[in-house]
């Protein structure tokens, strides 16, 4: 059996689930800080420029959950995940899932793990990693637990998870230069509508490059 490693945002799905989650929190009144979106845009730009402090960003996203009971979020998260998967799934999503229907698939994302869990369920994928939220006495603290699932941390977790399991081949898919360690870890890396930096590396290494979504965008 083969192992298939999917990044989530702008890879398996056609958009940014964390950005969608921020909008969901705003619309549901969970975010009261008027400067939240401005701060979010700064983090987004830092991400694109390769200078993101992933701990600061993760704690920023989790801040609005401070003091909220974990159980009270269950239905909200399920509602959000079902809606966002329905809206952000596209032909590329279907192609990748159908291509690897007989393989063991795993989603590894920097997105908050309680979101990745439900999104994975909606996509029919049992295995996942995300960035964990700290919970104490049944309530969110508004801080990250452990290390965010980002860049090299993705590979560390996957190595631990594989353990004594044996796979014939490992495939990996991502759109971001931040997932270079993940792609290099695999036997068959594919850059999915990659950012400029990843495109250059993928071309130089003669990796597979999937620009199907870019074609769809350019057709309009």
Name the residue with tokens 């850059």: 191
3-218: CATH architecture: 3-Layer(aba) Sandwich (3.40)
DSSP structure string for 69-132: BTGGGHHHHHHHHHHHHHHH--HHHHHHHHHTTTSEEEEEEEEEHHHHHHHHHHHT--EEEEEP
Residues facing residue 106 across a β-bridge: 5, 127
Q: What whole-number distance in Å separates Cα of residue 42 and Cα of residue 180?
A: 23
Q: What residues contact residue 189 under an 8 Å CB cut-off, 6+ apart?
A: 171, 172, 173, 174, 183, 202, 205, 207, 208
Q: What whole-number distance in Å separates Cα of residue 2 and Cα of residue 165?
A: 11
pLDDT at site 34: 81
Q: What whole-number distance in Å separates Cα of residue 111 and Cα of residue 69?
A: 20
Q: What is the pLDDT of residues 149-192, one digit of tens each?
A: 999 999 999 999 999 999 999 999 999 999 999 999 999 999 99
Q: Is 50 exposed, middle or buried (0-12, 13-18, 19+ CB in 10 A)?
A: exposed
Least confident range from 40-49, 85-94, 211-220: namely 211-220
Q: What is the pLDDT of residues 87-133, one digit of tens each?
A: 999 999 999 999 999 999 999 999 999 999 999 999 999 999 999 99
Phi, psi of 104 (to 5 degrees): -85, 120
pLDDT at site 51: 87
* Domain chopping of the chain, boundaries: 3-218
């Amino acid at each position: 059996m083969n192992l298939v490693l999917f990044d989530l945002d702008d890879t398996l799905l056609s958009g940014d689930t964390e950005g969608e989650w921020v909008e969901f929190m705003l619309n549901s009144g969970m975010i009261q800080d008027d400067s939240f979106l401005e701060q979010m845009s700064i983090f987004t730009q830092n991400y694109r420029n390769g200078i993101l402090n992933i701990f600061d960003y993760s704690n920023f996203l989790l801040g609005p959950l401070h003091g909220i009971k974990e159980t009270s979020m269950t239905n909200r998260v399920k509602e959000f995940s079902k809606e966002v998967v329905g809206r952000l799934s596209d032909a590329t999503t279907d192609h990748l899932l159908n291509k690897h229907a007989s393989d063991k698939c795993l989603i590894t994302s920097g997105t908050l793990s309680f979101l990745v869990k439900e999104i994975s369920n909606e996509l029919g994928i049992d295995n996942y990693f995300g960035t964990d939220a700290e919970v104490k006495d049944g309530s969110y603290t508004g801080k990250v637990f452990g290390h965010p699932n980002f860049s090299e941390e993705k590979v560390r977790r996957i190595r631990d998870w594989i353990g004594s399991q044996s796979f014939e081949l490992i495939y990996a898919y991502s759109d971001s230069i931040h997932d270079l360690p993940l792609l290099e870890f695999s036997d068959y890396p594919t850059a999915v509508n990659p950012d400029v930096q990843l495109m250059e590396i993928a071309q130089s290494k003669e990796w597979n490059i999937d620009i199907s979504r870019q074609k769809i965008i350019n057709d309009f």
